[in-house]
A and B are shown apart, each in its own frame.
Chain A
Amino acid sequence: MRGLVLILALLSAAGCGLNERDDYLVGRPCTPGVADVCDEGQVCLPHEWSADGPGAYRCRSAASFQQVGNEEAPLAYCDDTMFFCPAGLVCNADRIREDAGFRQRVCKLPGDPFAPPLDAGPSW
């Protein structure tokens, strides 16, 4: 009988976990500089960068930068001081866009065809 109780206790402790998705927080607004605001492996990055500075912070993971179908993944800005890209991505100059006021660096997949040559010097 004790054995049965022990087994039940272990099962209960282990518990059947909630069936979760790993992108649960991706794309959600976050506050930079606050610990654990995004999940592990995710970074709170700005999605707007105007003359006033960065804004529209959202959680991003490396997977969220993968292109899905013909739709390009949302851009997230980065720099070398505060906003670091998730592991596996590089912070590089964005391609030239029509609506871009200036070329801020964004998180890109390594080997992105639109990435400028790394030896081209600063783009801004």
Chain B
Amino acid sequence: MVGARSANGARVVLPGQARHRWPALLALAVAWCAAGEARAARVVVFPLDARGVDASLTQEGTRTVLARLRRVRGLEVVDPETGQAELGVNLTKQARACEYDVFCLVEVGELLQAEQVLIGHLSRPLPTDPKADEGLEFKLIVLDVARAAITEVLLWRVPDLDPSALQEAARAAVSRLFAPKDAELMVELSPPDAELRIYGEQVNLPEAGTAMPYWSGVYHAVVSAPGYLSERLRIPVMRGDEPARVSVSLEPDPLYVAEAKGPVKVFDKDSRRIGSGASAGTVGAVEVPPPSQRYAFQSVPPWLVAGAGVGLSALGAALMQSAQASYNTRAEERRFVAGETYGADVAIRVRDDSRLRYRAGSGTLIGGVGLVVGAGLWMVVDALLTEPARVGEVRPAGQPGRAALDPAALAAARRMSLEAR
């Protein structure tokens, strides 16, 4: 732009130059807009909040999130230390003071002149949580400061294996929230109705053999299907021409009990495996006593058997004693006395009778002892079978599940199932 300056320094537009003014302004505006587009978006990162987990774990997670965010182009990251230094407040305390209210949180973003706020937590689920066995809850929320609204929510389940699993999850989560899809994933599952959950999030799979765009990173996943044993996977998805391939064939679960479909008539089949797939306990048709009220040696039938055994033993002992007494009476009488000593034929009959009664008595006694021993074994076995239910869980009505067996029994059942197949 050509111009001139007056003596006092003010710019003076010369005659004939005015007709070039508007194009110049337009060029300036375009340049300013271009500069605005290229300007990095400022993101304030709150420290991950620790809920029921060790603080060092969330600190490591926060560091991983920051490191990955700094590698995303077009972002200017305001880390917690910088934010705290500029505001003079602890961001974690501030977030808690805000009670995670959106308007309160974006106020922090406004003060730091940021466009976005990234806030999240790592939490250990309660044992009563049905997803407790899926791992730690990892949640990230992206807030749009200008609109004072939540724009992205990511809720993952991270296996509680070691810190590296959290690091991998944090890197993948940041990619998911802030980076474009830069890789491809091809999944083939058997059975076809199996579902793939990545960090607890179900993945909508395309047709088999079709690759889908995905974010690069390392993912912990679970493949599951009704009637099959679930399988845990660690899937590295790398950038490149070739898609990451996942091929999983699940093994059938020999102990699977299908969920009831519709009303169930209890005990209308020989076996619940060939019936509706629901047991009486599952559908709530019978009342399962609370585990704490079940004790070993409390079952009545074994005690009745044991009592019968004791009675038989007493009867047998009495028979034996009576037989021996009869024999002794005859054996101890005087001999060689004419008219007084019983003849050999009479004595033989008495002896045979005593032998028979004694044998019957001893058999009865042994049978009674056997019953007592058997009842004792019954009680012991009953106690052993009752024990897992006492310390284990009682499945809520209507929820399918697998029988509670120890790993060795489970492996044996699986082997039998495979051999039979």
Contact = CB atoms under 8 A, between A and B. Distances in A.
A20 B366 contact: no
A27 B367 contact: no
B343 A30 contact: yes
Interface in A1-40: 1, 4-5, 8, 11-12, 15-21, 24-31, 37-38
A58 interface: yes
Give chain B's interface secondary structure class.
helix
A37 B348 CA distance: 8
A27 B351 contact: no
B125 interface: no
A47 B341 CA distance: 14
Nearest to A8: B370
Nearest to B330: A24
Nearest to A20: B327
B359 interface: yes
Interface string B375-419: 001000000000000000000000000000000000000000000
A28 B342 contact: yes
A17 B347 contact: no
B341 to A, nearest CB: 6
A30 B324 contact: no
Given A8-B367, A15-B363, A24 B338 contact: no
Most buried by B among A15, A38, A59: A15
Contacts of A18: 323-324, 327, 351, 354-355, 358-359
Contacts of B370: 4-5, 8
B20 interface: no
B374 interface: yes
Contacts of B93: none
B351 A24 contact: yes
Contacts of A115: none
Given A16-B362, A21-B331, A74 B367 contact: no
B14 interface: no
A73 to B, nearest CB: 10
Most buried by B among A8, A27, A28: A28
Contacts of B22: none
A56 interface: yes
A5 B371 CA distance: 10
Interface residues of A, number: 28
Contacts of B367: 8, 12
B343 A29 contact: yes
B247 to A, nearest CB: 48
B362 A12 contact: yes
A27 B363 contact: no
B341 A12 contact: no
A24 B366 contact: no
B30 interface: no
B345 interface: yes
Contacts of B345: 30-31, 37
B336 A24 contact: no
Contacts of A26: 335
B373 interface: yes
Contacts of B373: 4
Given A18-B358, A58-B335, A59-B344, 15 more contacts: A1-B374, A12-B367, A16-B320, A18-B324, A18-B327, A18-B351, A20-B327, A20-B331, A20-B351, A24-B330, A25-B347, A27-B341, A37-B344, A47-B336, A58-B336
9 contacts: A18-B323, A21-B331, A24-B331, A25-B344, A25-B347, A26-B335, A30-B344, A31-B345, A47-B336
Interface of A: 1, 4-5, 8, 11-12, 15-21, 24-31, 37-38, 47, 56, 58-59, 74
